[in-house]
Amino acid sequence: MDSDLKAIMTRDFVLVTLVNLLVMTGDYQFFLTTALYAMRLYDAHLSEAGAISGLFVLGCFIGRFVTSHFITIYGVRRTLLGGLILLTGSVLMIFGASNIALFTLERFFFGFAIGAVSTATSTLVAYCLPHTVQGFGVSIFSISTALALAVGPFIGLMLTATFGPWSVNALVLILIASSLLL
């Protein structure tokens, strides 16, 4: 087990796992607070807020589907970088979303970008691992998503309650920008 752990803990594996942790933490913050955000800032009805959350998920689904094609054409690293840039742009869009239509569009693009980035990181991590420890390595990588699922919603709700909805946007932007630096 110890030699297996040493085999997977390469620089590339650690960086991809950290990128996944940062991005998914931001994703789960946004996902959980999207409906609340729409209702508080844009006076959306519950059904509108639910539809916006649904478009967020639909964007993610489409992003995952399209990304496989981009990985084939441009390679996984370029696709990941493009997804991170798109993700950063979509988070920046929220600061200019002056109405519910722009907010909805931003959440769709954010979902699309999350789908692209998560597909690229999952693919890249498989390339980083020696064949003999791929199952173990993917399990370790998956812990980053589980950890993000555990802390992202908590952080998002805590920030919203303490500092207001805009604080979540700022933190998600910091998380995504940090992943670009890695």
Question: What's the CATH number where 49 sits?
Answer: 1.20.1250.20
| Residue 80 CA, distance from chain mean position | 12
Task: Indicate whether 59 belongs to any domain.
Answer: yes
Confidence of residue 169 (pLDDT cuts 50, 70, 90): confident
pTM for this prediction: 0.90
| C-beta separation of 171 from 26 below 8 A | yes
Task: Indicate whether 68 belongs to any domain.
Answer: yes
Task: Indicate whether 5 belongs to any domain.
Answer: no
> What pLDDT sits at residue 85?
95
Question: How far is residue 130's CA from residue 4's CA, in Å, rounded to a whole number?
Answer: 10
> What pLDDT sits at residue 50?
92
DSSP string computed for the chain = -HHHHHHH--HHHHHHHHHHHHHHHHHHHHHHHHHHHHHHHH---HHHHHHHHHHHHHHHHHHHHHHHHHHHHH-HHHHHHHHHHHHHHHHHHGGG--SHHHHHHHHHHHHHHHHHHHHHHHHHHHHHS-GGGHHHHHHHHHHHHHHHHHHHHHHHHHHHHHH-HHHHHHHHHHHHHHHHH-
> What pLDDT sits at residue 125?
93
> What pLDDT sits at residue 118?
95
Task: Indicate whether 85 belongs to any domain.
Answer: yes
> What pLDDT sits at residue 102?
94
Confidence of residue 145 (pLDDT cuts 50, 70, 90): very high
Residue 23's CB is within 10 A of a number of other CB atoms, namely 28
> What pLDDT sits at residue 88?
94
Task: Flag whether pLDDT at 3 surpasses 80.
Answer: no
Task: Indicate whether 4 belongs to any domain.
Answer: no
> What pLDDT sits at residue 1?
58
- If one counts the domains in the chain, the total is 1
Domain that holds residue 137: 12-181
> What pLDDT sits at residue 106?
94
Question: How far is residue 78's CA from residue 26's CA, in Å, rounded to a whole number?
Answer: 21
Per the prediction, the chain carries an average pLDDT of 91
Task: Indicate whether 102 belongs to any domain.
Answer: yes
Average pLDDT rounded to a whole number, residues 91-110: 92
